[in-house]
Structure 1
Amino acid sequence: MRNPNWARIHELFDEFINSFVIHKNSILTDDTNILSIETINSIQGRFIENYNDNDEKDLKFQKKLASQFEGASYNEKLVFAHAEWLWSYSVNDLQTATKKNYTKTITGLEHSKINDEPYKYGFGSAGQFHKTNKYWEIAFNIELIKTLVEKQSEGADLEELKKWVEAICLYLKYNRENETYFVDVKFRERFQNKALTMCNILTYCAFPGRYERIASNGHKAQIYHTFRSLIKEEEGENTNADECILLIREKLNKWRNEGFDFYENDLRKLWNYSASDIPYDELQAILYKKAIVLYGPPGTSKTHSANTIANALIKESYLKNKGNLDTFFSNSESIVNDRIHRLQLHANYTYEDFVAGMQLVDKQTKPQKGKLFEYCALAKNDSDNLPHVLILDEINRVDLSRVFGEVFSAMENRNEDIVTAVGNFKLNIPDNLYIIGTMNEIDFSLEQIDFALRRRFLWFPYGYNAGILQDIAYLKNEKQKAGLSHRDIERLINAANALNIAISNEDELGKQFEIGHTFFAEIVDIYSSFKAINNKTNRIKDKLFRANGPATILWDISIQPILEAYLGNVEEDEKKKTIQDLNNTFFQASLD
């Protein structure tokens, strides 16, 4: 929806169409008459027709770009800069200087020759995919500009060209024909099977009254999935996701101020279950199996994800009844939190604690029910029959077969009485009690678990995730006002990626010993503390990886101790050499 805070985004898009496409003048510099069909055809040949997928894997984007545009005219480079600008201008997870530097790099112009205004704004983060998919996003922009130039030569004005943008984006998203705005066959074939965030970005830039400021298809799917009960069946017929979200917006106006944003904090909590996209497979799995385990190295967001899945499961069930929205907006925390139950398992936790055991009561030893009976009763007595989720953290710390005992039979035969070995209690697990376990694979390999136990759960591996590292780092950076740049965080991710690749390839380690993303994200906290203690300002050029800086502290207090523990059985000299080699890999990669 149109919001005054982002008015300049929409104005700049109109200027792009009007000044650049229609009048052929640059909006990035003071140059005029730069755009022609011949120029865009040449760019298309250099950047798209000359594309080599193998080269792309081996060369960094900017190096490949330099080779593609070797010998190109100034106008060709400047027109390409507009396609690259269109990719970056509306997002705020790229800094102004970074956006402007893209134009400087391709054109060779000094900063003073490049206008500041087009680079200053952004309506939100487009996510990691928008960056990693940069080639195809820009290739799409080039083809789009070519189409707009052709349509403008046939007499299309500003509003008509914006409708062409909308029609092309919707066709590529939903494969729906538009009789008025027919997408060129070559355009279709080239991009039809490509996921493009530009389609979401440009429809919003062009028509904020009909589209949301949401770049992620995943986020749109989550919004639809959460609020679909608000739409009558007949209203949802023959409508795409964007049209459904517009209908949802109209319904939500009853509870929200008109012009609300789906990223407002209390509303976002309903549909956006985590810092990154919801683990959809896990959510579907727990609905089907009612018991899942998330396993992997420490620091890979297993506990956080377990809470995320539990939240999603309860919210989704509650919001299936649209009459619950009033209650939810006023009391969302208790609705969810009262139905999530957590047990931190440890080496001394036993069957007697969990299921049933003999305890001293009034100086007599009597059989007593364990914690599981309490959770079963809470779920069974829920007047709304909503899901209750039991999170068992670190199941690797116990002998699960011994702790669970008859629970496995009760899980498979829900709503049936299973008699316990101690006390002859009738254990009956209701349908609405779900179980999520987390397991550190370092301590206990999945292969060590017997098949009878494994088949009672669906198992999901969790490992190091660069995308989640980026999300956490940006979130911490924003909350702490740390002042780290996109380049600082990019260097951290490069270093983390390289270190974990080296760990995976190390004979004494392997993939299951990768360092989790949450450990690397601690560098933001270290930098904030470092800055406060040393009274440093944000003017420091190398904020993270300078000598004896935050990266060194992170290595010394977090990463190295983990590696030493993992290599505990290795001879001391070999251990020191391995850790030093990994240290070199980590810090060298930060320079790339």
Structure 2
Amino acid sequence: MARFIDPDSSRTLIDKVADRWKQDCLVDSGSILWGDRPVWTEPNLRDFQSRFLENPMIGTELDFSGKIEVQLEEAPDDVRWLAVELLIVYFLFARRLIEGPAKRELLFRVAGPLDLTEAPAWEEIAETMNYGIGNPGVGYNIHRDRQIGYLLDFTLRFKAIEAREDREALLNDPWRLRDFADDAAEGIQVREMRHVLLHLLRPDEFERMSSQTHKQNIVRAFEGDLFGDEPGPEDLDERILRIREKLVALGAQPNAHQGILDFYHPPLHQIWDSSSSRSEGTSDLDLLEYKKQMVLYGPPGTGKTHRTRELASSLIRQAALRKWGAGEFFASQDRVERETKGRIHWLQLHAAYSYEDFVRGLRLNANGGTEYVDGFLPLLVSEIEKEPVETRLPTVLVLDEINRADLSRLFGEAFSLLENRDKPLTLPGQDDEGNSTTLSLPADLYVIGTMNLIDQSVEEIDFALRRRFFWRPAGFDPTSIVAVNESRWPEQAPSKYGWDRAVGDMELLAERASLLNEAIERSPHLGSQYVIGHTYFFDASFFAGHSLEGVKQLTGGVFWQKSGNPKTSIEDLWEFSVRPLLEQYLAGIDADSARSEIDSLRDVFLRGTAT
């Protein structure tokens, strides 16, 4: 079964609400909040459709909540209740990306003049909003209109099935339901909500995933090793269910919660590249395996190092699963860890690092003469080739901060080996017997570079280098600010102040960080390459926790007072983490202009508005 139960969540509450929606609202036409009240009727759905989909308000400066408030002006009460309940369904899956206070706030805004607290099921729904099943990705939050649009289309098509027993029969058949979910109306984008709905309605057959790419990664990582050439289903979800059943039979759940295997937990998630941020399209692991060279680039603090480590680990673990077989792989997790760590080689580049260091160069010998000595790359290749190619696992060479070295000069003539790995290259110099040294790169040597945009832009890289690598941007991710600080909160804050006391301000912190970066992108002195990476905000829990030491009663939030004025905790985060970076970025302009720019950005971050 795919019904994963997170110990920090409340799956029982979520499933109860989902089952009520399925029975009372889809099969029947009642209400999540009001029971038998006719809210999910076809006329109400059509009314909301005309307001929401046929009046998208594209081009306005309003956010999602602002638009839907306008769209619902003068709407009948039951249509407004329908809008609230559509959002309840939308929120059921999301965890960490959208926290409970933010969910409830939006529900109250959409309810408008209606009193949510009068609804018989409101207290239960309000509690359920504190939980979720998984992180559906940034696109789920940014494109709320598309997710709700898909949910609305799904429901209208479902309501078009006249006989009640036919609607029930469809819900009871997971694969017919899947086909129905895929048959969206023209113009409706089948995005994350398709996967979310299938899991809510049939959690034992469909994984708690909102990403098509994640599902493809899982099939690619496991199917061939588990089943070989054995014929199987073509559908992605059926293939994953088949993989799950096989893994359970092999006992591949040593670290699973509640005895339930989960693809987002060890020992599985490191194999299939679960940290990929893309919900659709080609995964990072696919790119690396195909090209064998890729560069992760972006501003400082955007998680390039962490992403590189995860990507390299997934590559090696997949190869181990493939070569050892599932039984040995899952029984040898200590060996997997050793092999993974030992086959990732980090090379920190800098301006003084040269071709002679990396490939080959003249060095003084013990006799006072000179001789050619192999550099880092040939020595690494020599170590790799000591193992038989049939049994060895891939090696990953990480070139950290490639912007600090001239890669074309660093590789020299060996540059061509990146795309012609089967053609040995003759290196400079000969041995005492007049023999030349050759170098070729093994097919199982992969290269990942990291690059900070503040030192050099991608456009400045020469075309010969650019075409030999895939280039993957690593951007600012506000959702990780909340997630990482939540994981750190128990160790940083006094035990009397639980995460529920901090989450509201942490969400506001993520919003303010986003506003700050938008202002940086617009700044004539800075620009997009200078945005502040999300990792610079990961110490927020430390500053908040430190400020709470000895505090008997908290007034306001952990960062902002009720009035909206900043507290010392958030000012310290600015002063010790963000401001020094901005001062470094602005060191090249006159002092008055730099000071004015920093003051303006400070107001954006701490107060939400520029002076």
Name the TM-score class by shorter chain.
0.7 to 0.9
Shift of the 551–325 alpha-carbon distance from structure 1 to 2, 3 Å rule, reads farther
- Of the candidates 202, 205, 210, which is equivalent to residue 207 of structure 1? 202
Change (3 A) 1:557 1:99: closer
Residue of structure 1 in register with 2:185 after alignment: 188
Q: In 2, Cα distance between the equivalents of 1:16 and 1:27?
A: 6
In structure 1, the residue matched to 2:469 is 458
Task: For 2:430 and 2:589, locate their aligned partners in 1 and report how far apart those are by CA, in whole Å.
Answer: 45
Q: Which residue of 1 aligns with 2:381?
A: 376
Q: Deviations over 1:198-222 (max 9, x none)?
A: 2222222222232222222222122
**CA deviation digits over 1:568-592, x for unaligned, max 9?**
221111221122222233334389x
TM-superposed deviation, 1:461: 5.3
Please state if 1:48 is matched with 2:45.
no
Residue 492 (str. 1) matches residue 509 (str. 2): yes
For 1:234-249, what aligned pairs fall within 5 Å after superposition? 235-237=231-233, 239-249=234-244
Matched, 1:390 2:397: yes
Match runs of 1:252-267 below 5 Å: 252-253=247-248, 254-256=250-252, 259-267=260-268
How far apart are residue 313 of structure 1 and its match?
A: 2.6
C-alpha displacement of 1:422? 8.4
- Equivalences for 1:1-40 in 2 at 5 Å? 1=1, 3=3, 5=5, 6-22=11-27, 24-29=29-34, 32-40=37-45
Matches within 5 A, 1:100-115: 100-107=104-111, 108-110=113-115, 112-114=117-119, 115=122
Question: Is 1:475 matched up with 2:484?
Answer: yes
The equivalent residue for 2:559 is: 543
How far residue 379 of structure 1 moved from its aligned partner, in angstroms, is 1.9
Structure 1 residue 131 and structure 2 residue 141: aligned?
yes
SS of the counterpart of 1:210? coil
The sequence identity of aligned pairs, in percent, is 30
* Cα displacement string for residues 173-229 of structure 1 (whole angstroms, at most 9, x for unaligned residues): 4x5xxxxxxxxxxx52142xx133222222222222322222222221221121121
Residue number among 81, 87, 110 corresponding to 2:90 in the alignment: 87
Once the two structures are superposed, residues 412-436 of structure 1 have per-residue CA deviations (whole angstroms, 9 ceiling, x without a partner) of 5435142235876433332222222
User: 2:99, 2:463 → 1: CA distance?
Assistant: 51
Inter-CA distance 142–317: structure 2 relative to 1 (3 Å threshold): same
CA contact (8 A) 1:87 1:138 kept: yes
**Paired positions, count:** 569
1:419–1:496 CA distance, 2 compared to 1 (3 A): same
Alignment of 1:133-148 (within 5 A): 133-148=143-158
**Take 1:116 and 1:590, find their aligned partners in 2: how far apart are those partners?**
35
- 1:97 positional shift: 4.3
The 1:365/1:305 distance shift into structure 2, 3 A limit, reads: farther
Out of 493, 515, 519, the residue aligned to residue 532 of structure 2 is 515
Unaligned stretches of 5+ residues in structure 1: 176-186
CA deviations over 1:52-98 (Å, ceiling 9, x no partner): 3334xx21222222221111222221122222211112333344444
- Alignment equivalent of 2:421, drawn from 408, 414, 426: 414
Contact 1:369 1:425 in 2 (8 A): no
Alignment partners' CA distance in 2, 1:212 and 1:447: 41
CA contact (8 A) 1:527 1:550 kept: yes
Distance 1:141 1:273 in 2: 26
Aligned partner of 1:180 in structure 2 is none
Q: Do 2:217 and 2:272's aligned partners in 1 also have CA atoms closer than 8 Å? A: yes
* Alignment partners' CA distance in 1, 2:87 and 2:474: 33
The residue that corresponds to 1:292 in the other structure is 294
Mapped partners of 1:519, 1:285: distance in 2 = 28
Residue 65 of structure 1 corresponds to: 68
Query: What is aligned with 1:223?
Result: 218
Structure 2: unaligned runs, 5 residues or longer? 6-10, 254-258, 494-498
Does structure 1 residue 426 correspond to structure 2 residue 438? yes
Deviation at 1:375, TM superposition (A): 1.0
TM-score, L = length of structure 2? 0.82
2:163 partner letter: E
Correspondence 1:435 to 2:447: yes
Cα distance in structure 1, aligned partners of 2:542 and 2:27 = 49
CA contact (8 A) 2:414 2:425 kept: no
Counterparts of 1:355 and 1:497 in 2: how far apart (Å)?
A: 43
Conserved 8 A contact 2:515-2:605: yes
Distance 1:322 1:242, change over 3 A: farther
| AA partner of residue 516 (structure 1) | G
Q: Report the CA distance between 1:314 and its aligned residue.
A: 2.2
The structure carrying a bigger helix percent of its residues is: 1
Task: Tell me if 1:122 matches 2:122.
Answer: no
Asked if structure 2 preserves the Cα contact closer than 8 Å seen for 1:166 and 1:203, the reply is: no
Give 2:168's aligned residue: 159
Matched position secondary structure for 1:188 = coil
Query: What one-letter code is carried by the residue in structure 2 that aligns with 1:146?
Result: L
Structure 1 residue runs of 4 or more that deviate by more than 6 Å after TM superposition: 536-539
8 Å contact from structure 1 (residues 29, 113) kept in 2: no
Q: Distance in 1 between matches of 2:462 and 2:581?
A: 28
Cα deviation, 1:364-416, whole Å, max 9, x if unaligned, reads: 55533322222102222233243211111122333434433343244454351
